[in-house]
Amino acid sequence: MTAREHFTEFTQELHLTSEGIWHVTVDQVHDEVKSRDLSARCVDDSAIAVTPRGHSYLDFRAMAPKQQSKVAAALRTAATGNGAMATF
């Protein structure tokens, strides 16, 4: 699925709003979690029939709320540094 296809599905088929698509890699997630001596699951559910397609998520439940905030902020910074895959 291309960035444009994902954006179209998200906004036109699911009727959700979006400013664009940013991303982090699985390696970036793994490195960030490991650097803090934490445990978390990164789940790629793009191979199953769910919407939005091409979706994945990080399961933060094993982390304390303060840890969740720090990891989320670091991943947001990484995504911003990676640049937008698509803005329309």
Residue 17: inside a domain: yes
CA–CA gap between residue 61 and residue 8 (Å, rounded): 30
* Domain span including residue 59: 3-82
Domain total in the chain: 1
CA 47 vs CA 36, 41, 53: distances in Å: 29, 17, 8
Q: What is the pTM of this model?
A: 0.69
d(CA 53, CA 32): 25
- Write out pLDDT tens, residues 30-64: 888 888 888 887 777 767 776 677 667 788 888 89
Domain assignment present for 14: yes
Residue 88 is assigned to a structural domain of this protein:
no
Spatial distance between the Cα atoms of 10 and 34, rounded to a whole number of angstroms: 31
Residue 42: per-residue pLDDT: 78
Predicted confidence at residue 50, as pLDDT, reads 67
Mean per-residue pLDDT for 20-26?
A: 81
Do the domain assignments include residue 9? yes
Minimum mean pLDDT among 6-15, 24-33, 36-45, 70-79: which range? Answer: 36-45
- The first and second tokens of residue 4, run together, are 């444009």
